Amino acid sequence: MKDPVDVLIIGAGASGAAVAWSLAETKMHILCLEQGGWMNPAEYPSTGRDWEAKFYGEWSSSPNVRGRPEDYPINDDNSPIKVVNYNAVGGSTVMYTAHWPRLHPSDFKVKTLDGVADDWPIDYEALTPFFEENDRMMGTSGLSGDPLSPLTHPPMPQQPMGLSGAIIGKAMNKLGWHWWPSDTTVATMDYEGRARCINLGHCTPACAQGAKSSTDITYWPHAIRAGVELRTHCRVREITTDENGMASGVVYYDKDGIEQFQPAHVVVIACNGVGTPRLLLNSASGRFPNGLANSSGLVGKNLMFHPYAQIYGYVNEPTDSNRAPPTCLWSKQWYDTDLSRGFVRGYGVQFVRGAGPVFEAVVSEQKGILPWGEDHHRVFRKLNGHRLGFSAICEDLPEEHNRVTLDPVLKDSHGIPAPKVDYTISENSRKMMEHALARGREFLETAGASDICVNSPIPWGGWHLLGTARMGTDPERSVVNEWGRSHDVKNLFIVDGSIFVTSGGVNPTSTIQALALYIADQMKQRLANLFD
Amino acid sequence: MSADNQLTRRQRDDLRAIAAMIIPASDEYKVPGADDPAIQADMLATLGRDTKLVAAALDHLARLAGAPLAELDAARRDAVVHEFRKSGGAAAATLVRVVLQCYYRDDRVLGSLGLELRAPFPKGHVLPDGDWSLLDPVKARGGALRRAP
């Protein structure tokens, strides 16, 4: 039998890496098990001439399409929004847009302010030092001073405005609407061993330059140097418990597919809002018949995605197309509740700079604006390199019927039951999306765009997996307490997006990592009585 | 393994015929059609995981056409292709995507679009920094974060 470790972290993505690094200073024996492996930037799509085609296959954002050995299948047939993720050291930070807003202070008090959902058991101020620490570790770029966003201090200047940014800014100014350069995790200068961005453009499916921050090149090198052990290609099947109801370790399959048991004194789950409930539900036992840490019955429930309402069109001037990171500017014009709009809460906007030629051709043909036949060439030249987009990221409120369960049939390559997602878009979200599309159309028309197209929701837009093991002070209404510890199992912690109480209207990775650092800090402060 | 051997002769003929209907050659833009031998060879060599769906799409097309697509008269060919797009589902969409993704990486086509014939890495691209005084009206308007109790 293997020697027990002090802390066992499951998952080496955004939150697992941050926790591992933070806890390393305790000098405890920390082990992280990751189902994927280390990535090789020399093989990233942007290194080859077929860089766009790869997005439809081995570099698809959908694990169901990608089907790498490291992936597990997800039954999302009963959801208009499909789950996208990445499984490797770095997790989905390997494959994301690097857009880096954070939750607003008001997002933690939605019940008090708007009478919906629940307040968080912690507030923005509790996370502030960890946001700052995380921004330094991940290496952010941006422009401090946005009047409608929380004050940030990015260590690097904002991305260039580019051709698209100027068109966007002028149109938004004509309308008198807010816009600002996005905080991003794209390095705009050499930073901590990372080379600056050279505008490879196709940076969502991994950055060959290393300018886009992912935890395999930020947190992990530091954590490993500090003594954390990271075992790759190890897929955890279940968390085991002892006669006292405490977590005793995990059963996992190693890189050779051999079943192993790893005992541990503390278990930390960092598997995202789909992987975490899947693991807890797969860890059911005689003592925990409904799944581990699930006395509330809320494990897997309250799944929040952020429905994206996207509208785009084509301007006469050239845009940046694929020659720049896809996002560069945001707007918080409609972020806060205004009941005259017909819905509660709000949305952030991320502007899109353009697309590459293959993507443009494929999508435009599907939309019916790029014809077959003789006129194809003329129309393609009008579209390609002229796209401008407006994507609203709508706050998704928690609803228990939106959930992750175990699929009765579907299993991964190790025979572990796969997750099943049941999700519908709420009436409030639909109204929000309609509002956003109307504002987006005004924006595009002001910019002079034509051939306007809509994706609402973006079907392959389930990047943000939140809420399925929510935090709270009431064990009957939450899965973990206000510092991430399971109410039911005193040595089990959850640090990923599943502990979100509400979703806000922003990309969540910055807040996920700040929460992970906050929970690690709470653990360090309580080491003497962690299980009380 | 090359998909060259995984599609039948008839399927390859129909693929070439429908590719020409999607993107014909153009003297005006000085570009080949998607039935160009080099572009067709690229498709067959790189079909990979798309082979099954593309073969299914071509079988569907063959059923609709009842004869090799290239042998039909123009009106009949148009009618068949119209029905193919309407009823072909994911398989037809995959076939069209394969045609487009191979066409829009051909050197002659990219050259005619004024695009460089290279991978994005390691050269990257240069972006204008832009005129950040555009932000002045936003700064002047100001605003405040919603207060949290």
On chain A, the residues whose CB falls within 8 A of the CB of B43 are none
- First vs last C-alpha separation in chain B: 64
Give residue A450's identity as a one-letter amino acid code: S
Can you give the pLDDT at residue B5? 61
DSSP A43-87: GSGGGSTTTTGGGGTTT-S-HHHH--TT----EEEE-SS-B----
Can you give the pLDDT at residue B1? 40
Three-state DSSP class for residue A480: strand
Q: How far away is chain A from the Cα of B105, in angstroms, using its nearest Cα?
A: 7
On chain A, the residues whose CB falls within 8 A of the CB of B143 are 147-148, 178
Q: For residues A395 and A357, is the Cβ–Cβ distance under 8 A?
A: no
Q: Does A339 touch chain B (CB under 8 A)?
A: no
Q: B-contacting residues of A 178-197, CB under 8 Å?
A: 178-181, 197
A485: left (phi over 0), alpha (psi -120 to 50) or beta: beta
Q: CA-to-CA distance for A376 and A116, rounded, in angstroms? A: 50
Q: Residue B45 phi/psi, 5° resolution?
A: -75, -20
Q: B105 and A160 in contact by Cβ < 8 A?
A: no
Q: Does A344 touch chain B (CB under 8 A)?
A: no
Q: How far away is chain A from the Cα of B39, in angstroms, using its nearest Cα?
A: 13
Closest-CA residue to A252 (of A488, A90, A32, A516): A32
Who among A106, A145, A181 is closest to B148 (CB)? A106
pLDDT per position as a tens digit, B70-125 = 999 999 999 999 999 999 999 999 999 999 999 999 999 999 999 999 999 999 99
pLDDT over threshold 50, residue B2: no
Residue of A nearest to B29 (CA): A377
Q: For residues A351 and A164, is the Cβ–Cβ distance under 8 A?
A: yes
Residue to test with chain A: of B54, B85, B99, B101, most A Cβ within 10 A = B101
Q: A161 and B130 in contact by Cβ < 8 A?
A: yes
Can you give the pLDDT at residue A209? 96
Residue to test with chain A: of B31, B54, B86, B104, most A Cβ within 10 A = B104
Q: How far away is chain B from the Cα of A57, in angstroms, using its nearest Cα?
A: 7
Instruction: Show Cβ contacts of residue A415 under 8 Å, excluding neighbours closer than 6 positions.
Output: none
| Residue contacts between A and B (CB atoms, under 8 Å) | 173
Angle between helices B9-22 and B51-65 (to 10 degrees): 80
Q: CA-to-CA distance for A297 and A277, rounded, in angstroms? A: 11
Can you give the pLDDT at residue A202? 79
Q: CA-to-CA distance for A169 and A163, rounded, in angstroms? A: 10
Q: CA-to-CA distance for A444 and A51, rounded, in angstroms? A: 29
Strand partners, A314: A387, A450
Can you give the pLDDT at residue B42? 97
Q: How far away is chain A from the Cα of B104, in angstroms, using its nearest Cα?
A: 6
Q: Does A129 touch chain B (CB under 8 A)?
A: no
Read off the pTM.
0.97
DSSP A212-279: B--TTTTHHHHHHHTT-EEE-S-EEEEEEE-TTS-EEEEEEE-TTS-EEEEEEEEEEE-SHHHHHHHH
ipTM above 0.90, yes or no: yes
Q: B81 and A372 in contact by Cβ < 8 A?
A: yes
Q: How far away is chain B from the Cα of A234, in angstroms, using its nearest Cα?
A: 26
Q: How far away is chain A from the Cα of B14, in angstroms, using its nearest Cα?
A: 16
pLDDT over threshold 80, residue B3: no
Closest-CA residue to B149 (of A499, A478, A114): A114
Q: Residue A318 phi/psi, 5° resolution?
A: -70, 145
> In which element (H, E) is residue A421 found?
strand A417-422
Query: Per the structure block, which two tokens stand in for A62?
Result: 């959908």
Who among B105, B143, B147 is closest to A178 (CB)? B143
Q: A324 and B125 in contact by Cβ < 8 A?
A: yes
On chain A, the residues whose CB falls within 8 A of the CB of B46 are 50, 53
Can you give the pLDDT at residue A438? 98
Q: For residues B105 and A49, is the Cβ–Cβ distance under 8 A?
A: yes
On chain B, the residues whose CB falls within 8 A of the CB of A165 are 130
Q: B122 and A209 in contact by Cβ < 8 A?
A: yes
Q: B23 and A53 in contact by Cβ < 8 A?
A: no
Residue of A nearest to B32 (CA): A377
Instruction: Show Cβ contacts of residue A254 under 8 Å, excluding neighbours closer than 6 positions.
Output: A231, A233, A234, A260
Residue of A nearest to B137 (CA): A173
Q: A109 and B28 in contact by Cβ < 8 A?
A: no
Q: A147 and B144 in contact by Cβ < 8 A?
A: yes
CA angle A52-A97-A443, nearest 5°?
A: 95
On chain A, the residues whose CB falls within 8 A of the CB of B107 are none
Q: B141 and A150 in contact by Cβ < 8 A?
A: no
Enumerate residue ranges in chain A where pLDDT < 70: none
Q: Summarize the confidence of residues B20-34 as an average pLDDT.
A: 98
Residue of B nearest to A332 (CA): B145
Q: How far away is chain A from the Cα of B10, in angstroms, using its nearest Cα?
A: 22
